[in-house]
Amino acid sequence: MTYEERILRIRELSEELKTASPERIDDFAMREYTVPQAEDLYELISRRYRRGALILTTNRAPADLYPLFPNPVLAEGFLDRLLNSAYVVTMLGRSYRPRQRPGDGGKEGPPEPSRPM
């Protein structure tokens, strides 16, 4: 690929990113999934895999996600697609949520444990 072709491809990708709408899943893996829930998650990940952005937040390490799925084959396929091309950002520190509680006066509670992915 020539330099000019690379620049053109970068510009094309940049235009695609401007119109892309990421899916967001906050507090992922808070509890075990039922079969229909696990199948729906697998379908979502399969549709987004290498086609669209997905922003997912969780307090669990990837290895801790397997037992939450009712079917180990589904769990493996899901996590393989999820982690294969992921950028994992580990954030350490206190949670921002205690500051958002009404009537709390903005006090922070004790630090919450963080586990890197």
Mind listing the pLDDT tens digit for each residue in 72-116?
A: 999 999 999 888 888 888 877 777 777 777 775 555 555 555 555
Is 7 a member of any domain?
A: no
Model confidence, pTM: 0.59
Residue 63: its pLDDT value, please?
87
pLDDT averaged over every residue in the chain: 80
Is 65 a member of any domain?
A: yes
Structure-token pair, residue 42: 């697998």
Between the alpha carbon of residue 2 and those of residues 6, 7, 9, 12, 34, the distances in Å are 6, 9, 11, 15, 50
Is 9 a member of any domain?
A: no
What sign results for the dihedral spanned by CA atoms 72, 76, 78, 79?
Answer: positive
Is 112 a member of any domain?
A: no
Residues 48/25, Cβ–Cβ less than 8 Å: no
Looking up residue 44, the CATH number of its domain turns out to be 3.40.50.300
Is 49 a member of any domain?
A: yes
> Cα separation of 12 and 20, whole Å?
13
Domain count along the chain: 1
Is 46 a member of any domain?
A: yes
**What residues make up the domain containing 43?**
21-91
Provide the total of helices (H) and of strands (E) in the chain, helices listed first: 3, 2
Is 68 a member of any domain?
A: yes
